[in-house]
Chain A
Amino acid sequence: MREPLPITVLRHAVLLLFVAIAMWPVMDVISISIRPGNRLRTTELELVPYDATLDSYRRLLADATFWRWLGNSMLVAGAVTITGVTLASIGGYAFSRFRFVGRQAMMISILTTQMFPATMLLLPLYLMIARLGLINTYAGLCVFYVSTALPFCVWQMKGFYDTIPHSLEEAARIDGCSQWVAFRRVILPLASPGLVITALFSFMSAWSEYIVAAQILQDRDMFTLPVGLKSFQSSLSTQWGLYAAASLLVSLPVVVVFILLSRYLVSGLTLGSVKE
């Protein structure tokens, strides 16, 4: 159905305005990253400076440690994504389909984990990781990331399973499948949009985390990207050009993944309620 012209124009006007707002800070970072080092602070509103340079990028990309850190980040974020999705997909399924004693309590306790100021958990968590002997290991980092990403992921998966009709499994059960097989063969494939989004969240939470990584990792060669890039900085004289370029390079993979998955985003993101 065609809409009246004023409505169409209005739609585009609103969308264009917000696209401009959404892109503005990103443009600002891009603009800083290509400015030559001696005039990072300008008073002009220009986007691409007349003397634009890719020097900052060149310096970063030519640095061998940069690639190493990138690899480390990939490894950590990848491991977190795999574990997070696995645990959330099975845990969320149980919360969606089974009624068992303690279910309600567990659901609420998952929600409550989001309510505690995360910074206060840092110190006890560090002590625990130290006690487990996991300081300066990726395993220590992964344990932390997975467990902080899990509450949201479980909730999100549970919400997604809730949208899948029970009749599908029932049909499979009648055909002789066990509940587990019905889950694996019938429900899990249908849940792929939800899984994709869960994977995205696990990946994001691990990819750009800084504070915990800075405490746990002690070896320069083991740094993840945010920790590594922060080490270029010093207290008083931030090298803004380098920092901006680095920020963009950290963000780039996430943004690309986000864009690739954006068509799943709308159908895959569901937040189920706690109660039925």
Chain B
Amino acid sequence: MSQLETNGERLPRPQQTRRRWTWAAIALALLTGCLEPQASRLINLWHQMRPEDRAVLNARIEAFERQHPGVKVRALYKETEELRSGLVSAVLARRGPEVIYGPSDVLGVYQAMGALEDMSPYLPPEDLAAFDPRAVIRVPSRDDPARSELVFLGDRFGNHLALVYNKRFIAKAPETTDELVALARQHTVDENGDGVPDRFGIVWNYTEPFFFIPFLTGYGAWVYREPVDDVHAPTPALDTPQAVEAYRFVASLRTEHRVLPPSADYEAARALFLAGKAAMLIDGDWSWQNYLTDENVDAGLAVLPTVSATGLPMAPMVAPKGYSLGSFAQGDQARLAMELIRFLTDAETQKAYLVQQRILPSRLALRVDPLVTGDPLMATSVAQAERGRAMPTDVAMRNVWDAMRPPYQLLLAGQIDAAEAGRRMQRDAIDKNRAMLSRTAADETVVVLYGLGLAAIAALAVFQRHSFTAFFRELRRNRLAYLLVLPAMALMGLTVVYPLAYNVVLSFSNMSLTNLRDWEIIGVKNYASIAAGEHAGQFWGVFLKTLLWTALNVSLHVVLGVLLAVTLHGPVRGKSIYRVLLIIPWAVPAYITALTWRGMFDEQFGAVNHLIRAVSGYLPGFLRLEPLNWLGAAGPAFAACIIANVWLGFPFMMVIALGGLQGIPAELYEAARMDRASRWQQFWHITLPMLKPVLVPAVTLGAVWTFNNLNVVWLVSNGGEPADQTHILVSYVYKAVFNMYQYGYGAALSMVIFLMLLAFSLVFLQRTRATEAVA
């Protein structure tokens, strides 16, 4: 080091020195200045409050802070998935929110992972009597299933669905499903006579089975077998004759009565109704106020009808939303957190929500408030909520949703029939329960595994001992080189190698929802089940799809990139402007464009279908395209993902190819022209071979990135929709880990991905090098 300094001092460099100090100061400020503020008492609250309701929440939190000087409440909004994965991390790091606010349906999951604390020591029973009993939830204790713990105190009631109708078309809301079908048929009309209806009788969000529950209950079915046989994993009842009748009814609305649009997610359903293109809509209590006050529609709200075939009312699920105590708080901190919970569920807070947002309170005393009884919306809401069935809170409910979603989507797309949908739902729900809740035991491969590990380390020590000694010799000789790579390698080592090692260990373990902390090494079972388990067929299918995905994307990237580079590399006027505009897809953050493409592929409102409709009139017959239900079927949805990704990736290859073109000496082309080579021959015999050294690393890297590109597939297909048919391996892993909490299995899968890519890159680089050596 001293040698460097003396050498450096020969040259005057006061400016550089000053600059360097500024950098150091900035780095120091970053490291020290931004450490967490030391508030005297800090309560963390993770919540899922809608934006409209946050004003009330914030005001009440401020009131609480005024009452408790020195206490700061840090409220943080988290989306459903973020809240769940955040809690997993929090449980593992033993550091998390003291108070959690959200819907009750995830309580079983939170309890299973150990994120919740029993609130009953802090809440006197007479306090609880003031609440609707459905808003006070107890779940079995983790240690002793016979004992139950109070884990949830609701501040509101609802999440229930009801019927919203457009009064311009429908004078009186239907009271039975027969009336509903008749009205829907009457109001499904093709106004411009192009054979496609311009207005539909009824619409709802088809992607979520939550919206289907009222049909299920109306036909006398329920998601679980009754009475419930197991508190943790009740047996699902998704294939009962009553349930199948319900599927059949919904499918008949689509196929027989033709009153439903071909596809509708939540946004589309809402937009159709607001645009006057749907006479009726099924939607939840969070949205009613918006419809009733919207100037463009004259909306009415009614209780869901009675099913004519059974005489039973369609009963939506109702769920309270409320507060839980996180297991991260102890002693005084827990007492303070409970004071906050009691404050935020008191009569004053609930009244504020009622007045400002028309939210149904969980305190019974407020139910007789004139604001509730005197308001038609609130009266309907109460009537509908009273018909509703409480949403289950156990772990298995999540599996029911996940099992219902794909067959339900297929049913509505007309791809499977009602009986088949029921069979698939039931089978998947049982499978998923088993996968999530069973605990894999260690087997004899553990011994083999440890043996192999030790053998590998020993082999490394023996065979590589020369390199190690050489390394230490080198360390002295080539000190500058090691000094230069040290910071970069150390940082990458810290943040890549450690997680990687962690992942290797995890891949041999049985870590899952119920044993986040006390997992153990179980041998190679996870790997075995990937290659030959009951879902192995699915794995190989996804694997092939991933290969197709990578090959198509990369080859299109290269072809388009080279085409554009060759076009741009020449005497073109406005070259720099073209170049700037063509790299736009690369410059815009990918998650934004991925979501934009999803919107553009929407069947009703998407720009892609608008364009198809607009231009198809001018094209000759064989080129004419039909507007496609892009995201509703597996093939087009996968195509949509590829289109979006090709769009995102071609500028990178174009820039790489442009750089390569600049490196080709002009004399080569001149010589070729002398020899009267055609443009095509020049391209084929000069341009392409000369581009190869530049393109090979870019293709390698591009293939690896594309193979691992979660963002585009996940966002464009909304997590593998329809029916989990658009997964590539990374999104499949993501789903296994984040939906099913199979951390061991997910880790093993990502190791497989990693090894495949490693093998590919090494072979590919070797091959391309070998051919070069020959040529």
Contact = CB atoms under 8 A, between A and B. Distances in A.
B605 A116 contact: no
Nearest to B596: A25
A262 B579 contact: yes
Contacts of B563: 14
B496 interface: yes
Contacts of A180: 4, 7-8, 480
Contacts of B758: 112, 115
A258 B581 CA distance: 11
B267 A238 contact: yes
Contacts of A94: 480-482, 484-485
Contacts of A79: 26-27, 30
Contact-residue bracket for chain A: 35 or more
Given A124-B498, A220-B76, A269-B659, A25 B600 contact: yes
B705 A41 contact: no
A147 B641 CA distance: 29
A120 B750 contact: yes
9 contacts: A8-B572, A19-B581, A22-B582, A25-B593, A130-B95, A159-B697, A237-B286, A247-B589, A270-B659
A150 B492 contact: yes
B10 to A, nearest CB: 8
A124 B697 contact: no
Q: Which of A177, A215, A218 gathers the greatest number of chain B CB atoms within 10 Å?
A: A218
A167 interface: no
B665 to A, nearest CB: 15
Contacts of B753: 115-117
Contacts of B487: 87, 90-91
B762 to A, nearest CB: 8
Interface string B719-759: 00000000001100110010000010011001001100110
A44 B610 contact: yes
Given A151-B492, A231-B77, A265-B655, A142 B589 contact: no
Contacts of B754: 112, 115-117
B76 A178 contact: no
Nearest 7 CB-CB pairings of A with B:
A208-B589, A41-B271, A91-B488, A98-B481, A124-B499, A94-B484, A130-B93
Contacts of B602: 41
Interface in B1-25: 3-4, 7-8, 11, 23
B292 to A, nearest CB: 14
B571 interface: yes
Q: Which of A23, A112, A265, A273 gathers the greatest number of chain B CB atoms within 10 Å?
A: A265
Given A1-B571, A112-B758, A142-B30, A218 B607 contact: no
A181 B7 contact: yes
B197 interface: no
Nearest to A88: B488
B583 interface: yes
A21 B750 CA distance: 35
Given A87-B487, A114-B701, A125-B495, 11 more contacts: A43-B604, A45-B611, A101-B471, A123-B92, A128-B495, A139-B34, A148-B495, A232-B51, A240-B599, A266-B579, A273-B769
B275 interface: yes
A12 B657 CA distance: 19
Interface residues of B, number: 139
Interface stretch (B78-86, B380-388, B409-417, B423-431): B78-86
Interface in A201-240: 204, 207-208, 210, 214-215, 218-220, 222, 226, 230-240
Interface string B693-732: 1101110010011001010000000000000000001100
Nearest to A157: B488
B494 interface: yes
A130 B27 CA distance: 20
Interface in B470-518: 470-471, 474, 478, 480-482, 484-485, 487-489, 491-492, 494-496, 498-500, 502-503
Interface string A146-170: 1110111010000100000000000
Nearest to B696: A273
Given A14-B563, A115-B757, A255-B588, A262 B580 contact: yes
B543 to A, nearest CB: 14
Nearest to A80: B30
B697 A273 contact: yes
B20 to A, nearest CB: 10
A123 B88 contact: yes
A91 B485 contact: yes
A70 interface: no
B255 interface: no
A29 B592 contact: yes
A245 to B, nearest CB: 12
A190 interface: no
Contacts of A266: 579, 655, 658-659, 662
Contacts of B8: 180-181, 184
B589 A207 contact: yes
Nearest to B103: A235
Interface in B45-76: 48, 50-51, 74-76
Interface in A62-111: 75, 79, 82-83, 86-88, 90-91, 93-95, 98, 100-103, 106, 110-111
